[in-house]
Amino acid sequence: MARVPFIGRLSVREHVWLVLGFLFLAVEGLLSLIILCLPKPVINWFYKRSRYIFNNYIVRQPKTHTEERAASDRVLRAMDFQELCDIYGYTPEEHVVLTKDGYLLGLHRLPSRAGKQKTSPGTSTGKPVVYLHHGLLMNSEIWICLTDAERCLPFRLVEAGYDVWLGNNRGNKYSKKSIHYNPNSTKFWDFSIDDFAWHDIPDSIQYILDTTKAAKVNYIGFSQGTAQAFAALSIHPQLNERISVFIALAPAMSPAGLSQPIVDALMKTNPTLLFLFFGRKSIFSSAIMWQAILYPPIFASVIDQCLILLFNWRSANISWYQKICAYAHLYSFASTKAVVHWFQIMRNASFLMYDDDTTSMSPVARTSVRTYKPARFPTKNIVTPIVLMYGDQDSLVDIHVMVDQLPKHTVVRRLEGYEHLDILWGKDVDKDVIPHVLDTLKAYQPTKNGKSHINGLMDDSASVVSDY
């Protein structure tokens, strides 16, 4: 196919998609501007008409499962973490961490069982501590926006006797502040996975240890929340001494790519194209506006189609009402640079630090011998016990490639028939996922001499055979 000497190695076909992408963003931006100028009664009228058309002509809403529908409506209407906890009778604490580079991160804590409230907030409970961290374009709400408490991992952990903490990345809904930069500036959004690993994860964990007086925490990550832990543990040897076990749900390290071949090829050819599409601040910022004006089932349908297009996730294990309420809490602000970083990782098929030298991506700079290569996160150096739980239908997980980049003591558990988001919101996570998490936490609890139990045996550097 003929090549066009513009933007590196893009083909004519890829240039067409690039132009179409710019046109789509221009139209979307124009629509956003028009909608912002419309009076609220007009917007409400369009909202009601879209609801009527959707319910009567596009999708016939099922009349069964009324309890789940009522629960979904409550979760959908909840505005924040506090209101989500109120639904099920939990009283959270809010904490703020100042990172070493000046970002203020919101932490949420669940110290007490349902219906109870800790009399002295911000102090030790004497319980073992669990820290949960969300994925890309998410915040801490994704852990608790479920239609019943039995399928909610944080609530089950609290009821099992754990002091539960939930973290947030810089820039998202609960961490959009810095002592150095304004969120409207490009400098505020100049961060990638490197910054999460150097600062957000270790600083949050240290704050939790200081507050709880615990010797160690248990870390549970989802998706990018696992990548941040892989990165942080690989570059902070001392952090390994502060984590009893790292449970990686839907782990992410070096995904093969997207299911949509054109988009995948376009972004891998030159990941920095994302800066041309979305700028150097927050990515997909208009999603908040569309979510606010679209009838929730329509918004859920749009998200479903996007997940199918990009990742081939059909989400058959997640009920319709769960999707409606969970997708409303799915998106949160993230930097374009963090997404560019992921495409750099996919392009190189290796878990690398962010590549600031964009000339290394140009075909002109390529020779028979590579003169430059971004630093790789040394994940084989991780000492903390690692337990991977992945869905065998998850297009973002190549478990063999991942295990090759991790230490030999890594344990793997395959979840049959599960995709990426199923591990959070699937209809059977209370049977297929949560029991394994609870069993793993029990198995790796430190003893008085500071060592951990693995399958009932004492472990210094045990190697466990993986089954995947």
The residues annotated with a catalytic role in the active site are: 223, 394, 420
Q: How many CB atoms lie within 10 A of CB 438?
A: 15
CA 433/CA 413 separation, integer angstroms: 10
Q: How many residues does the chain have?
A: 468
Strand, helix or coil at 132?
strand
Structure tokens at 11: 């083909």
Structure tokens at 5: 């000497």
Cα separation values, 33 from 28, 36, 95, 392, Å? 9, 5, 36, 42
CA 92/CA 248 separation, integer angstroms: 24
CA 258/CA 309 separation, integer angstroms: 9
Give the contacts of 192 (CB within 8 A, at least 6 positions apart). 335, 337, 338, 340, 341, 354
CA 37/CA 35 separation, integer angstroms: 5
Q: Note the Cα 455 to chain centre separation in Å.
A: 29
Are the C-beta atoms of residues 247 and 219 closer than 8 Å to each other? yes
Per-residue b or e along 147-163, where b marks 16 or more CB atoms closer than 10 Å to that residue's CB: bebebbbbbbbbbbebb
Are the C-beta atoms of residues 327 and 306 closer than 8 Å to each other? no
Q: Render 391-442 in DSSP notation, one character per residue.
A: ETT-TT--HHHHHHTS-TT-EEEEETT--TTHHHH-TTHHHHTHHHHHHHHH
CA 9/CA 442 separation, integer angstroms: 52
Q: Render 252-321 in DSSP notation, one character per residue.
A: -SS----SSHHHHHHHHH-TTHHHHHHTTSBTTTTHHHHHHHS-HHHHHHHHHHHHHHHH----TTS-HH
Instruction: Give the number of C-alpha atoms closer than 13 A to the C-alpha of residue 354, restricted to the C-beta side.
Output: 18
List the Cα angle 90/95/100 in 5-degree steps.
150
Are the C-beta atoms of residues 12 and 2 closer than 8 Å to each other? yes
